[in-house]
Each structure stands twice: as C-alpha cells, then as structure tokens.
C-alpha cells in the first residue's frame, strides 16, 4: 500500500472548509427561528436595531435575541456597527432574507434543510432496508419548505420566460386552454398560471392529501378557486384528457415510474398539446455537476428524491441530477417524438415534449 505524504497546507485548507460548513449547518436552525419569529421582517422594516429594540418589536427575550444577532453578524448574514452597537440588514441581505418577492429569497431553502434533518433517521434506515423513504412518512415542513423554495423560481421565470419559450403555448393560454399541473404540491405553480391567464382553466394533481388541501385553500385566498380544480391522484391515474398543456414542476424525477407517468401524460394531451417538464439543472455526467448547485442538489437527491422514488412502484430512482439526456430518454421511451430544452436558469432546465 502506497501512502502519500501528508500535505499540511491541504489539510489546513480542508479543515477550514469543514469549519465553514459546520458554521453554516449550525446557523441553519437560527435562520428558521428568525423566519418563525418574524425577525427578518422586523429588520427589513426597522433599519439598524439594538438587541433590546428587536426583542421589543417581536415580543421575544432580549438575551437570546442578542446571541441570534451576534451569530448572524459573525456569519455575514447581518451587518454590525461596533460604534452604535446596532445590527442591520443591508440591501443584499434583505433580498435573501427580507423580501418574499425577491428572485433570491432563501428562507424556504432553510425550511427544507430543517425537514431533511428531522427525517434523517428515516433515510438512514432506508439505506439498509431497500432504500425507500416515501413522502407519506415525511415531516410536514418538507412540503411547505419545498413550496417556498421552488416558488421563488416559479415567480421569477414561469410566466415571464418558461411558458413563452414553448412553441405556440402562450397563444393557447390567452385564448383559453385546459392545463394540468401534475405533482402540484401546494399549488403555487398552478395559481401563478391561473392568475396570468384568465381565459384558461387549470387542474392540479398531487398524491399528497395535505398538500392538495393547502392548494385549495391558497386558491381561495388568491381568488382563483373558480378556475382551478385540485384533486388527489397520482401521475399515472389522474383523470381527464384533451389538455392543451400539461406541466410537471420539479417532480418527474421523484416518480417511481416516470416512463409510465409520461405515457399517461401523452395520452391525456390534446393532439397538438405540449408537455412541459421543469427539472433541476444538471449535466449528464457527475463531473459536470461538481459545483455549488450540484452539491446542493445531490444532497437533496440523497435525502428526498431518490428514497421517495424507491418507495413507489418500479422505483426507477432518476435522482435530482438525472441530466437532460436521461430525462429525454424517459420521455422518448414514453412515446414522445419531439423533445428539446426550451429554457434554462442556474437552477432549472425546462423540457418541451410533443408527439
């Protein structure tokens, strides 16, 4: 066995990297506390504050608030003025933490992090017991967190970029189309489209009952319940047909049988209908994905996507970094004759599939 001589500089660099990662992991629950207790909203409204002032504004304990603020300053998540002893949220930090309409709002991401930590024992068990850890046994904050996390991209890109990138779809939507959203979760994508296209009718489908209940409530709150319908069903047994557009947002790779689901989608499309599959951005090879986005998505795939797929029939387990070639192969196996990448963002690829 050949043992390479230890490179002390590399070791120190790696330990520094691990310390940075541990700091990030330790502050994640503090971010969730700030989200739940309204600290970020208060900071966005107030300007520079002392711990006492933030505690008073939020009805919380000053001593704990002081530690929370200090941790955020040490992490670079907030600014600290040593002269005035005040903490503040600069404009860039506010885009990430303080503005829910920002295209880089990240609080939903931390909610997903909380969920995977809570579900970690279940996934550990899955490693030794067939690999399955389905959505039916996951904590509820996973679903709300994913809705918030994905919703940031959908708000920024769905109506403005993704739908216009599809051949002829905007005209159909403006004239009045039938649209199905498969794996709709809490319905944010469905509702965004419903608001944008008043002549069209939208149908959301998900096999998670609590998510469908949330989607129905959200449609009522947003005043679009008359043009939306949400049902509990799987991607292979949803009812209806002659859809002009069927969408699947960040869900195709989670399915146990994505080929079977895509086949059912093809069957449910109108003769000139379009299937839009929005998927996590990835290259086709591991070496293409060794980057910050790949790091995040492979971790999510290990904790969520892959064990969820293995809990279903077939259990193809595409994973969250399947890549466009593998996804295209799935769609073509299902019977689609034309498949192309219609749009891309740093976090997503948009596949358009037609007969």
Query: What is the residue extent of each domain of the chain?
Result: 18-98, 106-354
What angle is formed at CA 47 by the lines to CA 41 and CA 49, rounded to 5 degrees? 95
pLDDT for 1 equals 57
Q: Which residues pair with 279 in a beta bridge?
A: 349
What gap in Å lies between CA 144 and CA 291, rounded to an integer? 27
Helix (H) or strand (E) holding 272: strand 269-280
Please count the other Cβ atoms lying within 10 Å of the Cβ belonging to residue 209: 10
What gap in Å lies between CA 294 and CA 76, rounded to an integer? 23
Domain spanning 18-98, CATH class:
mainly alpha
**Residue 5: band (very low, low, confident or very high) from pLDDT cuts 50, 70, 90:** confident
**Residue 3: band (very low, low, confident or very high) from pLDDT cuts 50, 70, 90:** low
Q: Spell out the residues 6+ positions from residue 33 whose beta carbon is closer than 8 angstroms to its own.
A: 39, 68
The answer to whether domain 18-98 and domain 106-354 are alike in fold is: no
Q: Please give the average per-residue pLDDT across 92-106, as a whole number.
A: 96
What gap in Å lies between CA 155 and CA 151, rounded to an integer? 6
What value does the mean pLDDT of the chain take? 96
pLDDT for 2 equals 63
What gap in Å lies between CA 309 and CA 324, rounded to an integer? 18
Where does 106-354 sit in CATH, by number?
A: 3.40.50.150
Is 59 exposed, middle or buried (CB count within 10 Å of its CB: 0-12, 13-18, 19+)? Answer: exposed
What gap in Å lies between CA 149 and CA 118, rounded to an integer? 18
Q: Please give the average per-residue pLDDT across 174-194, as a whole number.
A: 98
pLDDT above 90 for 306: yes
Please write the tens of the pLDDT for every residue from 116-142: 999 999 999 999 999 999 999 999 999
């Amino acid at each position: 066995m050949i043992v390479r001589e230890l490179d002390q500089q590399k070791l120190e660099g790696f330990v520094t990297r691990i310390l940075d990662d541990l700091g990030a992991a330790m502050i994640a629950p503090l971010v969730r506390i700030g989200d739940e207790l309204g600290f970020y909203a208060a900071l966005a409204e107030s300007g520079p504050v002392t711990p006492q002032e933030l505690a008073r504004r939020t009805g919380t304990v000053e001593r704990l608030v002081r530690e929370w603020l200090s941790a955020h300053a040490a992490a670079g998540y907030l600014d600290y003025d040593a002269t005035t002893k005040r903490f503040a949220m600069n404009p860039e930090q506010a885009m990430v933490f303080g503005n829910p309409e920002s295209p880089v709002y990240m609080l939903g991401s931390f909610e997903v992090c909380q969920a995977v930590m809570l579900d970690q024992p279940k996934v550990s068990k899955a490693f030794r017991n067939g690999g399955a850890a389905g959505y039916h046994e996951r904590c509820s904050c996973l679903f709300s967190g994913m809705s918030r996390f994905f919703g940031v991209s959908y708000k920024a890109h769905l109506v403005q970029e993704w739908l216009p990138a599809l051949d002829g779809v905007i005209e159909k939507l403006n004239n009045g189309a039938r649209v199905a959203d498969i794996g709709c979760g809490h319905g944010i994508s469905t509702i965004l489209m419903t608001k944008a296209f008043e002549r069209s009718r939208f149908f959301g489908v998900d096999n998670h009952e609590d998510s469908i209940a949330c989607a129905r409530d959200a449609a009522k709150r947003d005043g679009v319940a008359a043009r939306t319908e949400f049902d509990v069903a799987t991607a292979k047994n949803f009812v209806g047909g002659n859809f002009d557009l069927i969408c699947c947002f960040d869900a195709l790779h989670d399915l146990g049988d994505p080929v079977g689901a895509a086949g059912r989608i093809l069957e449910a499309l109108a003769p000139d209908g379009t299937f839009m599959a929005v998927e996590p951005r990835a290259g086709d090879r591991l070496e293409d994905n060794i980057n910050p986005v790949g790091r995040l998505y492979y971790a999510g795939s290990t904790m969520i996507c892959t064990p969820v797929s293995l809990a279903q029939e077939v259990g193809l387990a595409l994973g969250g970094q399947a890549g466009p070639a593998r996804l295209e192969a799935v769609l073509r196996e299902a019977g689609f004759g034309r498949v192309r990448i219609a749009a891309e963002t740093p976090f997503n690829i948009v596949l358009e599939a037609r007969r």
